[in-house]
């Protein structure tokens, strides 16, 4: 149901609807997506207590379990964080959403410590796609995306470091928003990489995304002229993508293909982006986890433990070189936005993955599409692209800053 339909429900009925929808989920999806569910009576009270005229009044939402909620352990998809790290109170985004009238319905699972893009988690179960049980929802904000796509709530909060909103939004057919690194919403979340971490959210519809952006980011802004944007095809970034044609058709509805010079300049600046991203993010993750990597080794997913541990052996020169690539990408975007208002890229080179597709090679392929905006520290709107087989792809709309009128302009086209 869209926001308006939720607002028509009495608070007690809305709380009951959330609980009934959770109960109706397939058991595997419920256990893999849901970390904590607020009691129905408490949710009803919070929905009824929204300030008069609040922009998100009457809207229940779920929260990725990287954000703190008073009285609720934060597990971050892990087996031990809930007892290793105390929670002292509500995080900033919960406080701001409460002021905007939204009511917290619960918390969602994720890839362990947000260190993955597929939706896999050995502690709580791999998060299945809510409409295709043979596929995964994508990650790391897997539970947040899955519960919106399944219709349990109309809004959920995630994070995006290297694609963790953009990828599951593309896989699950959702609208997604990724903010900017270091903003007030992400500073008090449990981090993966402070350089790249952002907060964001999912909605099922464009109108709901417009309302959320207006309430949390900035009111819709008009533009005296049609914004200028261009798109790159999936095959520009990685040959043989099965979503290339569909994404190109969808992008052409509101942008032109990039001219040769623009395309070549972007692609040249992004050479080495995936390796630079992995180097910086893993080096920062190692610093955050270095004590626990010894004391809680057996509690980590072995692959994640290995990646975090290996980063402790990076030569300083390797990290310095990676940060230089970051600077180059940021300068390239600065140059781009002097003549353009937005850039469109496919959200991922593939639709929702099967378990067998969750390989290191696939991860690298996805990062080829998602890393540029992460290195560039730019906000991104993701919009869904239907595919002929019933799966979905997505488009990343990369903009200059969160106040860009392009966001509202694009959403009005859906």
Residues annotated as catalytic (active site), given as ranges: 64, 140, 164
List b or e across 45-64, with b for residues whose CB sees 16 or more CB atoms inside 10 angstroms.
Answer: ebbeebeeebbbbbbbbbbb
Give me the residue label for tokens 């569909």. 246
Q: Which two tokens stand for residue 383?
A: 């919009």
The residue among 208, 155, 177, 131 whose CA lies nearest residue 387 is 131
Alpha carbon separation from 327 to 11, 315, 320, 322, 377 (Å, rounded): 49, 19, 11, 9, 10
Q: Which two tokens stand for residue 135?
A: 């596929």
List b or e across 250-261, with b for residues whose CB sees 16 or more CB atoms inside 10 angstroms.
Answer: bbeebbebbeee
Alpha carbon separation from 165 to 40, 46, 138, 162, 388 (Å, rounded): 28, 26, 9, 9, 23
Q: Which two tokens stand for residue 353?
A: 């993955």
Separation of alpha carbons 136 and 372, rounded Å: 24
10 Å Cβ neighbour count for 71?
A: 8
Give the list of residues 6+ apart from residue 103 with CB closer than 8 angstroms, or none. Answer: 43, 46, 47, 50, 59, 60, 61
């Amino acid at each position: 149901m869209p926001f308006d339909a939720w607002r028509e429900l009495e608070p007690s009925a809305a709380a009951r609807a959330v609980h009934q929808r959770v109960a109706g989920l397939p058991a595997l999806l419920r256990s893999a997506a849901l970390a904590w569910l607020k009691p129905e009576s408490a949710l009803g009270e919070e929905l009824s207590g929204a300030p008069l005229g609040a922009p998100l009044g009457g809207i229940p939402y779920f929260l990725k379990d990287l954000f703190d909620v008073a009285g609720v352990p934060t597990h971050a998809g892990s087996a031990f964080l809930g007892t290793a790290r105390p929670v002292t109170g509500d995080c900033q985004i919960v406080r701001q959403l409460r002021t905007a009238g939204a009511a917290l319905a619960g918390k969602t699972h994720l890839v362990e410590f947000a260190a993955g893009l597929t939706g896999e988690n050995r502690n709580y179960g791999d998060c299945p796609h809510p409409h295709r049980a043979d596929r995964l929802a994508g990650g790391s904000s897997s539970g947040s995306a899955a519960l919106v796509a399944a219709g349990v709530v109309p809004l959920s909060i995630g994070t995006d470091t290297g694609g963790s909103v953009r990828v599951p939004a593309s896989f699950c057919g959702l609208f997604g928003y990724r903010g900017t690194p270091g903003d007030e919403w992400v500073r008090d979340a449990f981090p993966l990489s402070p350089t790249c971490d952002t907060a964001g959210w999912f909605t099922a519809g464009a109108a709901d995304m417009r309302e959320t952006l207006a309430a949390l980011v900035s009111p819709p802004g008009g533009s005296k002229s049609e914004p200028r944007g261009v798109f790159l095809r999936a095959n520009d970034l990685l040959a043989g993508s099965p979503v290339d044609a569909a994404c190109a058709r969808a992008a052409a509805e509101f942008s032109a293909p990039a001219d040769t010079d623009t395309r070549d300049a972007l692609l040249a600046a992004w050479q080495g982006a995936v390796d630079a991203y992995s180097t910086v993010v893993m080096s920062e993750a190692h610093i955050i986890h270095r004590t626990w990597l010894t004391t809680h080794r057996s509690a980590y997913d072995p692959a994640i433990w290995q990646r975090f541990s290996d980063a402790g052996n990076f030569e300083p020169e390797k990290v310095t070189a990676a940060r230089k690539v970051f600077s180059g990408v940021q300068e390239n975007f600065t140059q781009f936005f002097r003549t353009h208002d937005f850039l469109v890229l496919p959200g991922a080179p593939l639709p929702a993955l099967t378990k067998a597709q969750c390989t290191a090679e696939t991860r690298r392929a996805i990062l080829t599409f998602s890393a540029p905006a992460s290195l560039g520290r730019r906000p991104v709107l993701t919009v869904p692209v239907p595919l002929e087989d019933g799966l979905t792809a997505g488009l990343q709309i990369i903009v200059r800053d969160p106040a860009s009128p392009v966001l509202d302009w694009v959403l009005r086209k859906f």
